Amino acid sequence: MRTPPGVWQRFLHHPGARFGFITLSIIVIAVLLAPLSPYDPNSSNLKERFQPPSLQHPMGTDSLGRDLFTRVLYGGRVSLSVGILVVVITLFIGVTIGAAAGFFGGSIDNILMRITDAFLTLPALLVLILISAILREVEFPLLARNSVITISLVIGLFSWMTFARLIRASILSLRETEFIIAARSIGASDLRIIIREILPNMVGIIVVEATLELGWAIIEESGLSFLGFGIQPPTASWGNLLSNAQENFVKYPWLAIFPGLMIFLTIISVNYIGDGLRDAFDPYKILHKRS
Amino acid sequence: MTNYIIRRLLQSVLMLFLLSIIFFALVNLAPGGPLAGYGQSRHARAERVAVLKRQLGLDQPLPMQYLIWLAGNDWMQVDADGDGIKESRGSRLGILRGDFGSSFRTRQSALREITLRLPNSIYLMSITLLVALLIAIPVGIISAVKQYSTFDISATAFSFAGQAIPEFWLGLILILIFYAWLENPFTGEPLLPAGGMYTIGGGFSLWDHISHLILPVTTGALGWIAWYSRFMRSSMLDVIPMDYLRTARAKGLHERVVIRRHALRNALIPLVTLFALDVPYLISGAVFIETIFAWPGMGRLYYQSALQRDYPVLMAILIIGAIFIILSNLLADILYATLDPKIRYE
């Protein structure tokens, strides 16, 4: 799929986006390099309990003497994986439902949109907590107890609605534009019109929405894990590291500061990238802003 | 308009009905069923569990169970002592008549558990939102009127940060600063309490009350300030180039009057809608804040009930939460039409 010319340049011109892009790149690279750490994320060393941050342990150690920096890096792998998986899942459900509703219209549209409305009126976090509480007790062969995939599925199942609405709305508005009518008049098929004409015009909004969704999913996973309903220890995630910190953080503040700081930096970077992408895909908005 | 409201109310009832089926299915189709969390049931003998199942009506087919949950069983014979013989009339009224069953944990009526705590949640959330709006609206207006000023740029940076800080982390950090690190210079005690609604056994004092509010309110309000000030800014920017503002200025009105009377009024309309759509996030915020600060509200009750799989209470809170969300959406539509005469519902 083609992107409009100059998107990348405009993106890098946005100071926030540049900051976000660099910060997120550093986090992603660090997280990928986690196995280089000399410490094991899960094996305890009781002689080294609650060490404050030092050169050996840049973020200190936890109640079992595990190196927090290593655990934060491994936790990042989990948190980022959940984020990316949720984006893939919500994209899949959202685009399917939105495209079907927008393209077929009529009663299909009506039914699909009422379902979307129903999902939007759910108190999402409460439902996520309920489902995770149920799943916590269950051993499914494929969905191991609150694994990355299970948590991503649960979150994704309840956050595709914005995508569906967005895709439907833009298909509805594109359907009546002149270039689609032109394509239709030279005899292009429905499928060809969707793939060749409509989808390339939606790349912008899909990419922007996917970025924001990524941030949202990471917060949601951290929140669930913080409450104890997400990823279960000893597997680290940024949320359950914070949850673990709760008992001791008044005495050993680094336990709470660093995992949260990682969530904060990731979310702010993702949001800045989203903002930059929105401007980059919408040159009119930049012109408008500068005037 | 009346027709529209009636139609929307009917739709809402249908929606609630659908949601109730979803919630019911979630709880009852789960392996182990609702009894999996019943007290010590995992260690209970199988016969005892079977008796309990008959007593609670869990031996009935699912659609029947749903019907009983919805409409009660006081119109049918039930097996109250669990011996396999239906001998007496049921006593449940069903959620349609406000009977959500009794909590597995406390054996009290689930509805009573909730009504004890709901006012605390509403109280905390109202103060949080009030504080947030009182700060966010002026910040948004100034940002828009003085676009690209130092104030606007710092407010924008702040709002990006504010939207990225998870409530559960902010709460911990504030406890660190104001409870663990800073102390009251006169008594040497922590500057602010880390949780609860009041000091136990301390008697009522206004300062005690306010000091318990500061941290939870700040934690909750920061995200809303960030979000609403952004929204207020862009909403004002949409209004500022309008012709009717030029007309107002041309009439010779003072700039302050133009902004307050003519611009602000129109810019506030979209905020009303946004506000209603945010109710679900308000509810999830309550779970985190009340859990961190041990605030005896509905969010904390939900958290505790989920830990112990206290399904009657969980279901009751879910249904009440959904009713809140649906009603606030409806209210937003009505307010929107009232405030903006251009909008007409068919």
Q: pLDDT averaged over consecutive 10-residue blocks of chain A (291 residues)?
A: 68 87 95 87 81 84 86 94 96 91 87 87 87 74 72 91 90 85 87 82 87 93 92 88 88 91 95 89 54 33
Q: In chain B, whose CA is at the least distance from the CA of A252? A: B176
Q: Does B19 touch chain A (CB under 8 A)?
A: yes
Q: Which residues of A touch B161 (CB under 8 A)?
A: 264, 268
Average pLDDT of the residues in B25-49:
65
| Bond prior to B341 in cis (omega within 30° of 0) | no
Tell me: pLDDT of B67 over 90: no
Q: Which residues of B touch A246 (CB under 8 A)?
A: 172
Please give the pLDDT value at position A288.
Answer: 45
User: Does the distance separating the beta carbons of A124 and B166 come in below 8 Å?
Assistant: no
- Give the pairing type, strands B88-89 and B77-78: antiparallel
Range name among A210-219, B29-38, B282-291 with the lowest pLDDT average = B29-38
- In this predicted complex, what is the ipTM? 0.86
CB nearest to B322's CB, from A122, A134, A138: A122
Q: Contact at 8 Å (CB) between A228 and B307?
A: yes
Distance CA A128, CA B20 (A): 16
pLDDT at A286: 46
pLDDT-based confidence at residue B296 (cuts at 50, 70, 90): very high
Q: What is the pLDDT of residue B33?
A: 64
Q: What is the dihedral of CA A269, A271, A272, A273, to 10 degrees?
A: 80
Q: Which of B163, B291, B322 sits opposite A123 (nearest CB)?
A: B322
Residue A221 has a pLDDT of 93
* Chain A 229-248, residues with CB within 8 Å of chain B CB atoms: 229, 242, 245-246
Q: Is A16 in the B-facing interface, judged by CB distances under 8 Å?
A: yes
Question: Which pLDDT score is estimated for B60?
Answer: 79
Selected residue with higher pLDDT from B297 and B43: B297
Average pLDDT, chain B: 84
Mean pLDDT over B266-290 rounds to 85
